[in-house]
Amino acid sequence: MRTHQPNRRVAPAALAAAALLAAPVTGRAQSLETCPETSPSASWVGATLDSDTTKDGVVYDGSGGGKLKLQTAGGVFTSTSLGIADLTVYAATADFDRDGWMDFVGIGEGNSFVRIYRNRTFDNPAPDWTNPSAVRTPKFVNVRSLVTGTNSQKYRPVAAGDFNGDGWPDVFRAEANPGERPTVATLWLNQASNDGSGNPRFNSGYTPWASPTTTATVGYQTWSGTNVAVLDYNGDRKLDMLIGSNENNGEIRVFTNQCTLMSPQPTPVPAAPAPLRCSNNPTFKHTATLITNLGYGTGSSGKLPVFSYTDIDFPADGKRDLIVGSPICCSSSSQRLRIYKGITATTVSSSYQSVSFAGGATGILAADFSLDGRLDLIVTTDNWNYNDGDGGKAFYYVNDGDSAPFSGGVTQQLTDILDYDVSFIFNYDNDPANTPDVMVADGNHTSSFYVLANRVVNQFVECGEAASGVIPLNDLESSEMVVTAARIDPQVALNGTGSVTFYLSNEEPPNWVQATDCGDGTGDLCATFPKSSGRDVRWKAYMCSGNNKTTSPTITGMTARFQYTETTEHYRGGTTVNDGIAYLGAFRQPGDRGRFYAINAGLSQTYWEAANKLDESTNDSERRLYTAHRDTGERLDFSVSNASDVGLQATLGAANAAEAADVVEWVRSARFGVGNDGIALSKLGAIETSTPAILTPPGLPTWYLFAPGAQRAKVDQFIANNASRPTLVLFGSKDGIVHALRSRATDISNSSNGKEAWGYIPPHVAGGFLADYSTSIATEMVNSAYPDGSVTLADVHDADGEMMTIALIAAGNGGDSIAAFDVTRTIDPSTNNVLGPTPLWTAIPGGAAAGRAFSKPAVARVEIDNATRFIAIAGTGMSFTDTTPPFEYGRIVEAYDAITGDVLWKFQTRCALTSDIAVFETRDELEPGNPTIDGYMDRAVFADACGYVYKVDPARDLGGGWNVNDGLGSIEADVVDGQQLYALFSTLDTDEALGVESPIAGTLGAQIDGDTSRLVLFFGTGGLESHSVAEQNAFYAVYADTGEIRAQMAGACPGGRCEKFYGGVVVTREQVMFTRTVDPRIGTGTCDRGTSVIQAVQLSTLEDGQFAVDFEVNAAAATMSALYGDAGAVYFSTLGGDVVRVGSPRATEAGGDSATGSANDPLEEGEGTGSLDSPMSLLGWRQVY
């Protein structure tokens, strides 16, 4: 018993003897191989601070032993003549001769020439780089004519890029009569060698289209400007083209590269994302449209989408953003220059953010001109289409670093001449600071070609960052281990008011977690990784200048260690129990191999393991895998034989059937594991945080007795119709599939148990496969798109009352989307044939503002406009790129029609969402609106990373508008579109709470307290691995009506390391059970698995105003997973690899409940069965006298 916490009241009479699970109950010896270990220290000092870091806004200064400091600021532009006289109106840059100096291809408008201008600026002397006004005289020489040129007035969009992946840039050009669709398109491939003078050479051009795309497909070319972008749009390691046209009211079409990649690739294979080598000449096909209906009209002169998309990311979240304007646009000034934020890697939001802009855009150039690590903007304007004569301006916008990066408007007007037709970015002078320079030109007029040389000034950039290389694994390289946490000891001088914030990551691409005080008095900084499935450990320093940018912090050294566990398996997901069987998933590292177990509820034997069954007793031809069309939602067979389906190709983003077949085959293949000789790879991917859900025959829904008679009859029929529905176990894994496994508890030895019945791939997940596949075949295995959430199952009905069972799953670590599908009848019970799920809808809660979809959606029956509706409420969570306040991502919670996916409302939290969504009924007198217990959910609650709990009325259809929650909380949390949103509770602001912000994660328990009959919410704080162990946490019971604290329990902080409440909460009619966890110590060299206590307190009884403790049970290792309660026992899994049970399960063996008639009875307590035929059950009787 713990007695040193003043806020913890322990009822001695009720306190059960703590069972020390550290002593193995089953007699199992403690497995030493699961003990966390600490790596040797890696250090960065002197030159390694330069050689083993990437720097953005940060430079290495070798003086005084060497240090990292902030870059002096850029963004001082000095105009100088480009030095050519050709009438170039179209241009694109590339290092065609690979000499390290950026060249460009220039093309005329009134003349058809296509010329390669080689950069020979190196022939001119370098200036005094410390003089901000000095420039290096540009020198560009026409060294190659791809088209000699004749006079003809045409519009000729151009692009340069390494389209065939040989490392040498190529040239594409289309040609159209002004305002018309092109009639000529040519691709010149670089010969991949220079001539004797060092000048690049090109092959004869060819028309590069793949049927049915033609030259005309490029679309109306109605003016000139930057309307072509070259990038690997779909992540297949081949460069594609995006071309703006005046089709369909203005749109940007995607032309994907159809070349076949060489196999094997010639060595050395370039690192991602560099293009891979094609085996044939590239051709392009119009396979997607990035955006359409921009409001430009169709075929209208001057109304050409001019845009920037390649590498645009405001702020950096891995999802490209689009910034678009036009030489003529628009009736509304707010539409002249728009930012469309990326929703996925290949799509952008339908809503936009306006940038203040006066003019008609012909060039939109984005780069870090100011050298502060953020993309800035230069927009050039046309003379003729916006207030005739008002053009020829170049506006410079400096990114202010928030979610509206250019809300401050134009920072500086750089030039003002007659007209700008053409512009591009290039570092023409190779200055020491590598500042991006700009070429702007009135291409119709000689001598109007300018270089805006970008120079540094005598100030530091506001902020910048440096990131280390990966810590070498050395002897651990071939070891099966997982990195769980890391510790750093930085040598830092702030030098005034500057600041440095450190982050750590354990995977590629990085998932930065802020490092905080280790809590052991050393001053070291520690971070625990939420996704302990990587082992590429590195650190990052985010440095900000001080004293009005005149001082810079410095880093003179760094040591780092990481904590790893060599073990066979890891458990992060929760356990679910049904009919005497406990189910849980696991993962092995490295290799991302998955495991899925069915064990007896008595916890003494394993019935089956699914990964082996998938590998050894399931032929690929037996597998029934499905996905859904990304646009129509139509179900698609996910099979090689269906690769010719254009819908499947579109969903995958595949260029053609062959590429789609390759991707499908890869997804279905055995690809997980280390691949050591003699150890076969496996098909089941890692099960990271997905807790399984058990699809059984339906029972009575909780709202049954409140439903009208006709609806009850439909429920009755639904139950009868599905009484023989085979039980399936649903979970998501890193192979990209939501697996449905067969499980017959009453026939546990049946060989079909644990075999995959079917699998479903959410369409957004499928859309991420191509990039993963391309990287995986070229270099190393990558699986970034997969369903990692926990399946929500619910029985719902449509407007006609027709019942169905739906499943929802969020992507968790594997993305930002959620998907819903119908699982009512996926197997014919009479034949056992697989019918498969029916896709319903998919969404990204918050769209471009989504984080990683960690939160489990809730389903609620509500009444809206006197009609019964079923809604799904979902949010996402913290983004790997946005882990500290102020949060930009993961704050939107949205409600959807559970069957159609129509958006009903949205809400914005103050910080990133960290809890699951919970809904409940209430009749509390203090609850506004006089809700009653009527089978309709009255409130939804959720919480965020800053400790705010929000309560909203879910029963609203606002057409996707903000669900303003006046009266459902008094703490002002956020303002959206001028409307105040409130929180019910705050760890910072609520009386007698912590007084500081602290994350609230996992389940929010909700139950009626028997003492006051008020509904109470139960939750704890600190439940994120990234939350500092040095900070105090608490577990709360809070009245749901007022947000007032009913009782609280402080987490202990022994030795300065505080208990966290990870959000595993189970509430019964008598008890509240939750976990108190102390994270393992990080990088101490000691064997520390952390600790957890399973705590039970009485629901209705308080002692001296605080919780009355029922029992405490110690676990031998930390648990961060959910708690599960079933039939007399609670279950959880630990990081140490154990499943733990507290309590006596009603059925200890498979089928035990079925044998007693207790299975799947929602009302069953253990004494018998209830049924529709027995409206009353006698639970017991006694003769008093």
Instruction: List binders of another protein among 913-932 (CB under 8 A).
Output: 916-921
User: Does residue 301 touch another protein according to CB under 8 A?
Assistant: no
Residue 619 or 1183: the one with the smaller Cβ distance to another protein is 1183
Is the C-alpha dihedral spanning 236, 237, 243, 249 positive or negative? positive
Smallest separation, CB 797 to another protein (Å)? 14
- Count of alpha carbons within 13 Å of 771, Cβ hemisphere only? 21
Smallest separation, CB 235 to another protein (Å)? 31
Q: Which of residues 256-275 bind another protein (CB under 8 A)?
A: none
User: Which residues neighbour 593 within 8 Å (Cβ) at sequence distance 6 or greater?
Assistant: 587, 611, 672, 673, 681, 682, 684, 685, 686
Q: How many CB atoms lie within 10 A of CB 1170?
A: 17
Q: Terminal CA-to-CA distance of the chain, rounded, Å?
A: 42
Is the C-alpha dihedral spanning 1133, 1134, 1137, 1141 positive or negative? negative
Smallest separation, CB 850 to another protein (Å)? 19
SS3 call for 891? coil
Radius of gyration of the chain (CA): 31
Residue 360 or 954: the one with the smaller Cβ distance to another protein is 954
Query: What six digits make up the tokens of 269?
Result: 């294979």
User: Does residue 1116 touch another protein according to CB under 8 A?
Assistant: yes
Tell me whether residue 800 is exposed, middle or buried, using C-beta atoms within 10 angstroms of its C-beta: 0 to 12, 13 to 18, 19 or more: exposed
The residue within the footprint of another protein, chosen from 513, 782, 937, 1052 (CB under 8 A), is: 937
Q: Which of residues 793-812 bind another protein (CB under 8 A)?
A: 793-795
Distances in Å between the Cα of 14 and the Cα atoms of 248, 518, 898, 1018, 1066 are: 73, 36, 43, 20, 19
For residue 1138, give the nearest of 38, 24, 17, 36 by alpha carbon.
24
**Are the C-beta atoms of residues 382 and 223 closer than 8 Å to each other?**
yes
Query: Which of the ranges 103-111, 245-253, 773-781, 1116-1124 carries the binding residues for another protein, by CB under 8 A?
Result: 1116-1124
Strand 67-70 and strand 53-56: the pairing is unpaired
User: Does residue 765 touch another protein according to CB under 8 A?
Assistant: no
Q: What is the dihedral angle through the alpha carbons of 409, 414, 416, 422, rounded to the nearest 10 degrees?
A: -90
Smallest separation, CB 365 to another protein (Å)? 47
Strand 903-908 and strand 961-962: the pairing is parallel
The residue within the footprint of another protein, chosen from 6, 212, 268, 1180 (CB under 8 A), is: 1180
- Give Dmax (Cα) for the chain: 116
What residue type is 1044 in one-letter code? Answer: E
Distance from CA of residue 328 to its chain's centroid?
Answer: 36
Smallest separation, CB 733 to another protein (Å)? 15
The kind and range of the H/E element at 716 are: helix 709-721
Instruction: Give the x-and-dash track for 701-730 against another protein (CB under 8 A).
Output: xxxxx-------------------------
Cα–Cα distance measured from residue 25 to residue 29, given in angstroms and rounded to the nearest whole number: 10
User: DSSP of 766-778, one letter per residue?
Assistant: HTTHHHHHHHHHH
Query: What six digits make up the tokens of 1090?
Result: 């952390």
User: Which residues neighbour 487 within 8 Å (Cβ) at sequence distance 6 or greater?
Assistant: 515, 518, 524, 525, 526, 560, 561, 562, 563, 1082, 1083
Smallest separation, CB 1095 to another protein (Å)? 10
User: Does residue 666 touch another protein according to CB under 8 A?
Assistant: no
Residue 939 or 1027: the one with the smaller Cβ distance to another protein is 939
Smallest separation, CB 1164 to another protein (Å)? 6
Smallest separation, CB 776 to another protein (Å)? 26
User: Does residue 1000 touch another protein according to CB under 8 A?
Assistant: no
Residue 49 or 603: the one with the smaller Cβ distance to another protein is 603
Smallest separation, CB 1 to another protein (Å)? 13
User: Does residue 856 touch another protein according to CB under 8 A?
Assistant: yes
Smallest separation, CB 371 to another protein (Å)? 46
Q: Which of residues 1047-1086 bind another protein (CB under 8 A)?
A: 1065-1071, 1073
User: Which residues neighbour 822 within 8 Å (Cβ) at sequence distance 6 or greater?
Assistant: 804, 805, 806, 807, 837, 838, 839, 840
Query: Which of the ranges 129-137, 778-786, 967-975, 1164-1172 carries the binding residues for another protein, by CB under 8 A?
Result: 1164-1172
The residue within the footprint of another protein, chosen from 58, 949, 1034, 1099 (CB under 8 A), is: 1099
The kind and range of the H/E element at 721 are: helix 709-721
Residue 423 or 533: the one with the smaller Cβ distance to another protein is 533
Query: Which of the ranges 154-162, 475-483, 644-652, 1108-1116 carries the binding residues for another protein, by CB under 8 A?
Result: 1108-1116
**Are the C-beta atoms of residues 691 and 1003 closer than 8 Å to each other?**
no
Q: Which of residues 159-198 bind another protein (CB under 8 A)?
A: none
Residue 113 or 607: the one with the smaller Cβ distance to another protein is 607
Q: Which of residues 564-623 bind another protein (CB under 8 A)?
A: 568-569, 574, 576-578, 584, 586, 595, 597, 599, 602-604, 606, 609
Smallest separation, CB 1032 to another protein (Å)? 24
Q: How many CB atoms lie within 10 A of CB 133?
A: 10
Residue 451 or 603: the one with the smaller Cβ distance to another protein is 603
The residue within the footprint of another protein, chosen from 880, 985, 1018, 1035 (CB under 8 A), is: 1018
For residue 105, give the nearest of 145, 77, 54 by alpha carbon.
145
Q: Which of residues 468-487 bind another protein (CB under 8 A)?
A: none
Query: What six digits make up the tokens of 50?
Result: 């330069």
The residue within the footprint of another protein, chosen from 207, 458, 750, 1144 (CB under 8 A), is: 1144
Instruction: Give the x-and-dash track for 22-61 against another protein (CB under 8 A).
Output: --xxx-x--x------------------------------
Smallest separation, CB 612 to another protein (Å)? 12
Distances in Å between the Cα of 775 and the Cα atoms of 265, 650, 784 are: 12, 19, 11
For residue 73, give the nearest of 332, 371, 420, 445 by alpha carbon.
371
**Are the C-beta atoms of residues 543 and 495 closer than 8 Å to each other?**
no
User: Does residue 1147 touch another protein according to CB under 8 A?
Assistant: no
Residue 586 or 1120: the one with the smaller Cβ distance to another protein is 586
The residue within the footprint of another protein, chosen from 46, 270, 699, 829 (CB under 8 A), is: 699
Cα–Cα distance measured from residue 543 to residue 192, given in angstroms and rounded to the nearest whole number: 41
Smallest separation, CB 7 to another protein (Å)? 22
Smallest separation, CB 683 to another protein (Å)? 18
Query: What six digits make up the tokens of 824?
Result: 């009512």
The residue within the footprint of another protein, chosen from 68, 791, 848, 1093 (CB under 8 A), is: 791
Residue 217 or 868: the one with the smaller Cβ distance to another protein is 868
Residue 1005 or 1051: the one with the smaller Cβ distance to another protein is 1005
Smallest separation, CB 1041 to another protein (Å)? 14
Query: Which of the ranges 216-224, 324-332, 497-505, 854-862 carries the binding residues for another protein, by CB under 8 A?
Result: 854-862
Q: Which of residues 857-886 bind another protein (CB under 8 A)?
A: 857-860
SS3 call for 210? coil
* Count of residues of this chain found to bind another protein when the rule CB under 8 A is applied: 129
3-state DSSP of 147-195 = ECCCECCCECCEEEECCCCCCCCEEEEEEECCCCCEEEEEEECEEEEEC
Smallest separation, CB 1152 to another protein (Å)? 15
The residue within the footprint of another protein, chosen from 246, 383, 691, 775 (CB under 8 A), is: 691
Smallest separation, CB 1116 to another protein (Å)? 8
Tell me whether residue 496 is exposed, middle or buried, using C-beta atoms within 10 angstroms of its C-beta: 0 to 12, 13 to 18, 19 or more: middle
Cα–Cα distance measured from residue 46 to residue 367, given in angstroms and rounded to the nearest whole number: 30
Q: Which of residues 1-20 bind another protein (CB under 8 A)?
A: 16-19
- Count of alpha carbons within 13 Å of 178, Cβ hemisphere only? 9
Smallest separation, CB 162 to another protein (Å)? 46
